[in-house]
Structure 1
Amino acid sequence: MKLIVAVHVDGAQATAAAVAFEAWDAAEATKTYVCRIAHVEKAVRGELDLRELPCVMQLLREHGLAPELVLFEGFVHLDADETPGLGQHLHQALGGKVPVVGVSKRGLPGLSAQFEVMREDEAPPLFVTCAGIDIGAAKARLRGMHGRKRVPTLMKLAARLAKNQD
């Protein structure tokens, strides 16, 4: 099973959500999971914000999940030099065995056009970074995900679940 994970931090608490799916073009989740986290540390100014990492790990442990791939909104690498982002830390926390794909609606200064994916003609591109999977394969799979809008349907569902909107 593949998982899309999302974390919503609200003050000192957070909600982590996961949407399980099998086929990349799936319109509906196979199953959904939610985990409430009672305490989240404050972000440290000037440092990479890794507050979501323990939340995702707790979600995986709490529900006994062993995904074949994890997709999330964010960055695996922060630039073309592969400066580690949240996704690289997640990949390492999973023993380097589970591919991690990060998708963002905004770019970063160090990311070139090779990280861009167009899902609809007139919308701005999405930015894809990954670990444990080829960038070309990750982009092709993201491009083929269900949904006619810029952000795939199941990614929107994961974000809504994390924000308690479903």
Structure 2
Amino acid sequence: MIIAVDVFYGENRAKSVGVLFERWEDSKPLDVIASYTDSPHEYEPGLFYKRELPCIQELMKLTDISQIDTIVVDGYVYLNKEKKPGLGHYVYTNYAGKIPVIGVAKTAFRDNEAEAVVRTIYRGISTKPLYITAVGMELEVAAAQIRNMYGEYRFPYLLKLLDQQTKETQP
């Protein structure tokens, strides 16, 4: 099973959502789960994972982690060509490196020489790419999985659903 996760922040509360699906090509989720975290960690520039990881950990308690094959995060696994860890890498190490993590980002790295750790993919007729990073699986495989997800637009349907669910009924 695959889970895509995202977190949305209100004033004093965070809402974490997970969309669970069986295959990359699925058009419907198996389930959508949500959890809330009161008083999430304040944002610290360069340390985003400190804010997001605890929320994802709470959400994952609602799953049978042994059934999860891949975790998809909104963001990056690596932040530069030297493989500075991003949120996805911290999620990966949190689960002892046993579950591959794919990062899907809508904006480019600040580091223009990061192509060693990021793949740019285009979906549908969009001229705007998605930026894919991965740990625990080959980067080319990760990019192909996201490219093959259901939906005709830039952002795969289940990831768009995740984004909508995360922002619905704000924390």
> Shared topology, TM-score over 0.5?
yes
User: RMSD of the alignment, in Å?
Assistant: 1.7
Q: Show the counterpart of 1:117.
A: 121
Do 1:16 and 1:162's aligned partners in 2 also have CA atoms closer than 8 Å? yes
- Superposition deviation, residue 28 in structure 1: 0.5
- Superposition deviation, residue 121 in structure 1: 3.6
Rounded to whole Å, the distance in 2 between the matches of 1:26 and 1:16 is 22
Rounded to whole Å, the distance in 1 between the matches of 2:74 and 2:6 is 7
- Superposition deviation, residue 164 in structure 1: 1.9
Identical aligned residues as a percent: 28
Q: Which one-letter code corresponds to 2:72 in the other structure?
A: L
Q: Which one-letter code corresponds to 1:47 in the other structure?
A: G
Inter-CA distance 147–85: structure 2 relative to 1 (3 Å threshold): same
Paired residues for 1:1-166 under 5 Å = 1-44=1-44, 46-50=45-49, 51-66=51-66, 67-110=68-111, 111-112=114-115, 115-164=119-168
Do 1:12 and 1:42's aligned partners in 2 also have CA atoms closer than 8 Å? no
Inter-CA distance 164–119: structure 2 relative to 1 (3 Å threshold): same
- Superposition deviation, residue 118 in structure 1: 1.1
Do 1:12 and 1:41's aligned partners in 2 also have CA atoms closer than 8 Å? no
- Superposition deviation, residue 109 in structure 1: 2.4
Rounded to whole Å, the distance in 1 between the matches of 2:125 and 2:164 is 25
Rounded to whole Å, the distance in 2 between the matches of 1:65 and 1:15 is 20
Q: What TM-score do the two structures reach when normalised by structure 1?
A: 0.92
Moved over 6 A (4+): none
Q: Which one-letter code corresponds to 2:122 in the other structure?
A: M
Q: Which one-letter code corresponds to 1:130 in the other structure?
A: A
Q: 1:112 aligns to what SS in structure 2? A: helix
**Unpaired stretches in structure 2, ≥5 consecutive residues:** none
**Unpaired stretches in structure 1, ≥5 consecutive residues:** none
Q: Deviations 1:57-89 (Å, cap 9, x if unpaired)?
A: 011114444411100210000122211001101
After superposing the two structures, state which structure 1 stretch, 59-68 or 4-13, moved more: 59-68
Do 2:119 and 2:140's aligned partners in 1 also have CA atoms closer than 8 Å? no
- Superposition deviation, residue 117 in structure 1: 0.8
Rounded to whole Å, the distance in 2 between the matches of 1:161 and 1:65 is 21
